[in-house]
Structure 1
Amino acid sequence: MFSTPSDEASLYGRDDNVELLKAWAGTSLAFGIFIVHGQVLQPIFVYWLIIAALTCGIGFLLHELAHRVVARNFGAEAHFVANNGWLAISIVIAFLSVFIAAPGAVWHRGYLTVRQSGLIALAGPVTNLVLAVGFLILGENVSAQSEIFGINMQDLCRVGYRINAWLGLFNMIPAGPFDGAKVLAWDWRVFAVTVAVALLLVFGL
């Protein structure tokens, strides 16, 4: 997500890299717990936690970095701030087989036009949709027995495709702090095309 801070002091004294690492780790842990339905004491948990980090975790990381890169390209001051409370909640409810990804947001200061805000917001979901397509293509070109460092590539691609397609669609919700609200405020046609692609990836394929 991408927003203007209600408390500007929250932008100071924060190391973006630490905040991103914290959110990546928390999101990966929550998704790993969700995948194994809370069975974290089973040996297979480590396997799925690694896959969670390389799919959901990386998807989230690149999503937020895309917001930050585009915002800074437009001259805005942009920083990622992790949401510690939601990270903790996401980990706890993952044990109930519920997954919510709200690890934080890129906050910005500086004047931005509606178009610039829309493009910055769009960068995150589009990153997830591109990752989903990448995982889909890779999955179609690796065998069921393909492994790298003990990780089955079919498992990796299947999970990577599904979670990134869902993240792309979820973030296009046209309300509240979601990216879709800013994209819709800028250009309904871009919003419609992006949502259509996300729906196709989530439900059509």
Structure 2
Amino acid sequence: MPHFLLIILALAAAIVMHELAHGVVAYWLGDHTARWAGRLTLNPLKHIDKTGSIIVPLVLAVGQFLTLGRVEFLYGWAKPVPVNPVNLRLGNYRNARRLMAIVAIAGPVMNFVLALAGGFAMHVAVAMHSIRLLDFLAYFIQINLVLGLFNLIPLPPMDGGRIAVGVLPLPMAMKLAQAEKIGIAAVLLLLFVLPLTLAQFGIQFDPFREMMGLVLPAAERVVLVLTGNGIGNN
């Protein structure tokens, strides 16, 4: 199987599980909106977002192929799972803002758990002498870490922004929440569209790659060590 397809499979699994985690936690906290919408499912077709699942990965793939001659990495997202904060409760606790923060953090936590699961699965791949499975797991770990870390950016509608809205003092939270209308457009423009456009003119500006270059290797190292794949374990 070509590496590009391995990346697609890893990305699809990561974003579906990310959104499913939001829906399941919201369901546990009393909101059944996602279930009624048919979103508590592993069927990827139910989670496709035109921009996040098709356009952004395609633009990234084409941009990398044109500038690097290969596709190294893809990013995307699924259609957000619907959540009605009014329905959320934890026992007698019904602070919707705080409980939405719990729903929000479930997505990145799921990605980090999946990255660890991928690390443990590497032992199976080694025992099977399966290079292709090892390649898939390497992409799977990397994509889940990128998705988890990227979503912790404290700007709505990223999960990190919704977490911040849930824990900040109310006046600050309200101001931050207002940024959600322009948040995703600003993120796409700054981190994806602008770098690819400038690259056509020979200008290197890629804050997303720089940011991931700083934190991703350390995160990957942590996963490998925690799952017994670190130096000295062979």
Residue identity in the other structure for 2:21: A
Distance of aligned partners of 1:186 and 1:203 in 2 relative to their CA distance in 1, 3 Å threshold: farther
Aligned ranges 1:46-195 → 2 under 5 Å = 46-76=1-31, 77-78=33-34, 79=37, 80=39, 82-93=48-59, 94-97=61-64, 99-111=74-86, 112=88, 113-140=96-123, 142-143=125-126, 146-147=129-130, 152-187=132-167
CA gap of 1:85–1:137, structure 2 versus 1, over 3 A, is closer
Instruction: Give the share of equivalent positions with the same residue, in percent.
Output: 28
- 1:203 maps to what in 2? 217
RMSD over equivalenced CA pairs, Å: 2.9
TM (normalized to structure 2)?
0.54
One-letter code aligned to 1:175: L
Shift of 1:53: 4.5
TM-score (norm 1): 0.61
Deviations 1:90-132, CA, capped at 9 Å, x for gaps: 2431211273413321122241412210111111110000111
Task: Call closer, same or farther: CA 1:152–1:100 in 2, change over 3 Å.
Answer: closer
> What are structure 2's unaligned runs of at least 5 residues?
40-46, 65-72, 89-95, 169-211, 222-234
Larger helix share, 1 or 2: 2
Is the CA contact 1:144–1:153 (under 8 Å) kept in the aligned structure 2? no
Q: Does the 8 Å contact 1:146/1:152 carry over to 2?
A: no
Higher strand share: 1
Matched length: 148
Flag structure 1 segments of 5+ consecutive residues without an equivalent: 1-45, 189-197
Is the 2:104–2:160 contact (alpha carbons within 8 Å) kept by the matching residues of 1? yes
TM-aligned CA deviation for residue 187 of structure 1 = 4.0
Structure 1 CA distance for aligned equivalents of residues 52 and 15 of structure 2: 14
Alpha-carbon separation, structure 2, partners of 1:156 and 1:101: 17
Cα distance change, pair 92–52 in 1 and its aligned pair in 2 (3 A): closer
